[in-house]
Structure formats: structure tokens, C-alpha cells
Structure 1
Amino acid sequence: MRLFLSSYRFGTDPGLLLGVTRGPCPIAVIANAADAWPSRARDSAVASELAPLRALGYEPTEVDLRDHAGAPDGLRAALSPFGALWVRGGNTFVLRARLALCGGDEILTDLVRSGGLAYAGYSAGACLVTPSLRGLEFSDDPGEVDAVCGVPARWDGLGWVDYAIVPHAGDSPLADAGVARTLDFLTRERLPFRALGDDEVIVVDES
């Protein structure tokens, strides 16, 4: 299993991402954490990911989970040309719901744990792989899930790591009051967590 988990994009060292993915490769961009945003803002969010990835030598293409709702075989086929995933930030609960609706939670777990795909995610994309999304409600609105996806919010993460991740900690310009409340909640509940500033990255490389 190869994971690159960050608070914001590449952190300070893009070489860490290149190491996890074993160099540049075709990379699938998943931007469904931004599905609650107006369509123009979502389109801009996707576009903003492509140029930095291309500058590192990657070949990025969006894979929209909405196109595969109820069709896990289609999603698996859509991911087959890629060596890695790049999962951007937004609302973690919306991202989690979109994955569940297309069977992506099971497909990604299979592909990533088997080494078939390297996984890179920042902000919501990093929080997704934790055991639980409890505490993230202070920054991400779980109520958006029903409005956007038509299903209740899920509170379980994918469980690839055994601790919570709190992005935008410290002096991050993206920090809001919710970050402090999340840290307080996790500390009070004695749940293990890693707080990440925007220049910090977690790398897991078990291959």
C-alpha cells in the first residue's frame, strides 16, 4: 500500500509524491469532494489540479464518480489505465458518499491495498482514508450529503490508517474555527490523530 496524504497539495516537497507513485504516470483526478459547490467553482477546482500535476510530469484526467453511480464495474474499468489517484479537498462527507454510491470504497480499497494503485489525497482526500469521520463535522457540513447525493451522510472512513487526520492545522491560511474544535474533540475522546500543517505530508509505503 502506497499513500501520500497531505494537508494541501504537495506540501513542501513534491518529490515525496513522485516517490510514492514511482515517478510520473497517468493519474486519475477525483474531485467529488467539491460536488456541493456551484458548477463553475467545481470546474475551476478540477482545472486547478491539472496544471500542477502536469508540471511534475503526470498525465492527469478527471474520473468523475457521478458517472459510475451504481456501476462499480464501470469504475474499475475507468481506473484501469492509471497508476495513481489524486483526490482533492472539499467536503469529506460528500466524497465518502459518492464513493459508496458507486462501490468505489471497496474498489479503491482493493486496488490500493493490493498495490495496483498509489493513492494521493489532500485535505478531504486525506481524511477519507481514516477509521472515522467523527470530528470533521466542525469544518465539513454532513448536511450537504443529503442535498447533493440524496443519501444520509456516512461517518466511517476507509480505514487504511489507524488514526484521524486533521488538515490545515497550525498557522494554515485555510484553517477555520472548526479545526480547533476537531482537535479538541479528538483529544477529549482520546482518539489517535495526526494534525497536519499545509507544508506537512504523511507517506505510507509498504510495497
Structure 2
Amino acid sequence: MKYYLSSYKFGNSVDSLKQMLPQGARIAHINNARDSKTVSTENRNSQLKEEMEFLDSLGFVSEHLNLRDYFGRESRLRHKMVSLDGVWVCGGNAFILRQAMKLSGFDNVFQELLLNNDYFYGGYSAGVCILSDSLKYIQFVDNPNDFPYTEIKETIWEGLNLFNYGILPHYRSNHPESTKIERAVKRCIDNKWPFITLKDAEVLTIE
């Protein structure tokens, strides 16, 4: 699998992103990190539209993949995801995103797709934090007790376990969560937890 991991939105390495996939590649946009009841439908839809249009402007073919449509239907999600060239996972609340991934079986399908060197995973903020071994690094950044889905009422602390360290976005940036990230950095240092930071506009690419 290849990765384009941004602190915020698409970052400053869009040229690299365009080269990671062929023109016409099908990318599913996953917007479930914004499923919190505190996020307005207008905001959720406008962000989705903006990001899908940007992906299309790069020459890709984007579509909305709502993990809610696959709760309890892992085999159906697997069939869908293997038909795609990759996914783009947006920011929001990483704990909510993790719930949606668990309920849909995305976490299991993700582990299977790791063996596909051509498959693409891109995203930012919550979509990047979710790749760590744990969500403890951002416990005081995102609300771990926001449960928009009736099927889950307990916090899931395990991430997708691609990295055995935390990734802290919005570091020293002009972002509303930057102050919380500073505290998260101190907490990681105090607890001797390994981590890396990303400033807004910075991107980590792995191929």
C-alpha cells in the first residue's frame, strides 16, 4: 500500500499525489470522521463536496463511501474496496472514525489490502491519526466519548496499528486544535511515548 498522509486537507505535495496514482484512478472519499452530532449536515456535505471536487481536478474519479452503509456488511465492503484504487479519509473525530471502521469491518479489510502495493491510502488529521497503534496520543484533542452510532457505547482505543507511534497533526499551525496538539506533544514526552508531528501543509508520503 502507498500512503499520502497530510496534516490538513491536501497539503503542499499535490504533485506527488498526482504521481502516486494513474489518471482516472477511482478513489473513495470516507467522510465518517465528521459524523458527530455537533457537526452540521451543511458543514459535512460542503467539506465532502469540496474535497471530492479537488480529487477530481487532479484527474482521479472520486465517489463517496459512507461506512454507515456497510455496518454489519463487511463482505460487501470488501467487495467494494477491492474494486477501487484507493481511499481518501478526511479529518474530524478519530474516535468516531474508528467506531465506523469497526462496525463496517473496514479495519479487517484494511489489513488485507496492506498486501497490495498499488493500493492507495490518503487522508489528513483524523484519517492519519487512525493509523497509529493507539488513539491515546490524541485523547485530549478529539472527544473519545462521542458516540453517534447506537451500536457502540464504549471508546475504542486501538488504532489500525500501521505505526507503533503517534502522529500529531496541526503542530504549531494556524489551526484551532494546535494548542491541544502542543499539550499532546508534552504528554507524549512525559510518558515516553514515541511520536512524530506534522505541521499544516506538511505531508508524509510512503511508497
Q: What are the within-5 Å matches in structure 2 for residues 86-125 of structure 1?
A: 86-115=88-117, 117-125=119-127
Partner of 1:138: 140
Aligned amino acid, residue 6 of structure 2: S
User: How far apart are the structure 1 equivalents of 2:192 and 2:169?
Assistant: 18
Partner of 2:60: 58
Aligned amino acid, residue 19 of structure 1: Q
Partner of 1:165: 167
User: How far apart are the structure 2 equivalents of 1:176 and 1:198?
Assistant: 10
User: How far apart are the structure 2 equivalents of 1:149 and 1:19?
Assistant: 41
Partner of 2:33: 33
Aligned amino acid, residue 8 of structure 1: Y
Which of 193, 197, 200 is equivalent to 1:198?
200
Aligned amino acid, residue 126 of structure 2: A
Aligned amino acid, residue 69 of structure 2: D
Aligned amino acid, residue 12 of structure 1: N
Partner of 2:78: 76
Check whether the contact 1:5–1:121 (CA below 8 A) recurs between aligned residues: yes
Check whether the contact 1:28–1:86 (CA below 8 A) recurs between aligned residues: yes
Check whether the contact 1:167–1:197 (CA below 8 A) recurs between aligned residues: yes
Residues paired across the two proteins, number = 204
Report the aligned-residue RMSD.
1.6
User: How far apart are the structure 1 equivalents of 2:150 and 2:131?
Assistant: 20
Assess, with a 3 A threshold, how the Cα gap between structure 1 residues 12 and 118 changes in structure 2: closer, same or farther. same
Check whether the contact 1:34–1:45 (CA below 8 A) recurs between aligned residues: no
User: Deviation per CA, 1:134-185, whole angstroms, max 9, x where unpaired?
Assistant: 031211101112x445411111111112221000001233434311111111
Assess, with a 3 A threshold, how the Cα gap between structure 1 residues 176 and 64 changes in structure 2: closer, same or farther. same
Partner of 2:15: 15
Structure 2 residues not aligned, in runs of 5+: none
Aligned to 1:144, the other structure's residue is in SS state coil
Check whether the contact 1:130–1:159 (CA below 8 A) recurs between aligned residues: yes
Identity %: 31
Q: Please state how far the C-alpha of 1:24 moved relative to its aligned partner.
A: 5.0
Aligned to 1:120, the other structure's residue is in SS state strand
Q: What TM-score, normalized to structure 1?
A: 0.92
Aligned to 1:11, the other structure's residue is in SS state coil
